[in-house]
Structure 1
């Protein structure tokens, strides 16, 4: 994109000019800025192991990584199994994994990802890898150590790694976020009024209300009624309880994802609404009222709070600073990180990360990628 800016200016640059004036440099900077921003927006951010190894297969020792990273793993071995292994055994594992991938052992990247109680084991494995002259990377467990809206600055010493935590606030960013939410949601409601009327007419022909309102947990733990177009049958709860009681497979799916791929509660028109994410349009009303934001963590129901473990404080503690800056969102980080394919535990992790690291730029990227996800119909 930046090269296009240079090419465009070269085409119109006066041949006899030897000076660079503001008239020419300003457009160059503007076009280059748009190009860089566009490239950053349209290029998906690779998961952790993708950043470490690129497209190369990875031999992962340990388990302290997220689900996205695991998709890049050719073979996964528990670190505790490697702790007692000799150099020869470790060398055999490396050779076997590399051979199955059609690589030389030196081209295989080994990633050590210990849990907090496996650090000592990891030291012994790393020493073995050094003796084998095997390239490796280390993923350190950081959960609970880095909090607040942060950006990390890493410095290394002889035997230490320093992660400097800084506030990542931009003065007035919360106000700008709120003004943008109100403006965009208000204009959206006006522009989408005909669709609201059509959907209301269709849903009125079915038994049940047009809107589905459910208590959700909002900022400072305050409850609010989250609105959606109704996509389920009136006896949806009874159908769910019956299915979970009689179908073990469906019960396991519900416990993992808190949703069902073949949900008997959803009406035919409801399937269309959910596949296109149009059932969430009434949440624009929640945004205008101040209950929600366009981008934010999931608006969870109260029974989900215990499943957030330590991150439950973002939903329940009014004095806790991080979540208070974030209303629940119509869309969020998890919707553009796998959406329906993302497990419930992974959604919890992504919500916690967003509340600690949100920014106006991140919101813009999430909104753009949400549009792409809806167009591709990879909806939740």
Structure 2
């Protein structure tokens, strides 16, 4: 039996070490609709929680802002500001240079389990991933999606190979495969592989499955720090 056009594309992609990206219009419209609807519902339902978090952040460190915004790289290399609840002391960026040698992550990432810059409320927020909730605003704005590769820092993208830059071919998201399969315990190379796996397999069914799995591991994940 003759190979289908899609099969031929997949074989060529594997040989060229590139991924085949689904650009089905119906899927993209459905994905965007779900992003907006669930993000708005989430913000409305979680409003009391958001207010409590804001109060606790200010009580522990009055100098810093409640929301931490950081430049990230989105689809096709376009940069945007990603929002998070601040989980570190107000001068965290200044202290980073003294901690670089203690980096526990592979590749261009910086991760440290016992990072002294993280506040008490910040540790709780990171453990439960509640620090990520402000990114629902990024989703509504269209800068992010609920599901997609996590957006990287510009300095991280500068070190990317052409293979790794394929992560930038789709809109970044709040969660993806590696967020529910190990999070910080997964090395950079495996993160890339899992992100590219999503890009090739993404569909309405895959997105809903990952959203449900993310909710299940939201509290008490051992892989978050």
Q: Is the 8 A contact 2:151 2:173 kept in 1?
A: yes
Aligned to 2:192: 348
Asked if the contact 1:295–1:328 (Cα under 8 Å) also holds between the matched residues in 2, the reply is yes
Q: Which runs of 5+ in 1 are unaligned?
A: 1-141, 150-167, 317-322
Structure whose CA Rg is larger: 1
Structure with greater strand percent:
1
Cα shift readout 1:20-45 (whole Å, capped 9, x = no counterpart): xxxxxxxxxxxxxxxxxxxxxxxxxx
Q: Distance in 1 between matches of 2:15 and 2:181?
A: 19
Please state if 1:375 is matched with 2:219: yes
Aligned to 1:217: 73
Q: Whose relative contact order is higher, 1 or 2, with alpha carbons under 8 Å and at least 6 apart?
A: 2
Select the residue among 141, 144, 155 that pairs with 1:303: 155
| 1:377/1:271 CA distance change after superposition, 3 Å | same
What CA distance in whole angstroms lies between the structure 1 residues aligned with 2:167 and 2:197? 14
Match of 1:363 in 2: 207
CA distance in 1, matches of 2:84, 2:203: 27
Partner SS for 1:350: helix
Identify unmatched segments of 5+ residues in structure 2: 1-13
Query: Normalising by structure 1, what TM-score?
Result: 0.51
Pairwise CA distance, 1:171: 4.3
Is the contact between residue 128 and residue 220 of structure 2 (CA under 8 Å) also seen in structure 1? no
Of 185, 191, 200 in structure 1, the residue corresponding to residue 39 of structure 2 is: 185
- Runs of 4+ aligned structure 1 residues displaced above 6 Å come to none
Secondary structure of the residue aligned to 1:212 is strand
TM-score of the aligned structures, taking structure 2 as reference length: 0.84
Over 3 Å counting, the alpha-carbon distance change for 1:201 and 1:296 in structure 2 is: same
Q: Is the 8 A contact 1:299 1:328 kept in 2?
A: yes
Q: SS state of the match for residue 308, structure 1?
A: coil
Q: Which residue of 2 aligns with 1:28?
A: none
CA RMSD of aligned residues (A): 2.0
Q: CA deviation at 1:313?
A: 3.9
Between the aligned partners of 1:200 and 1:269, the Cα distance in structure 2 is: 10
In structure 2, the residue matched to 1:94 is none
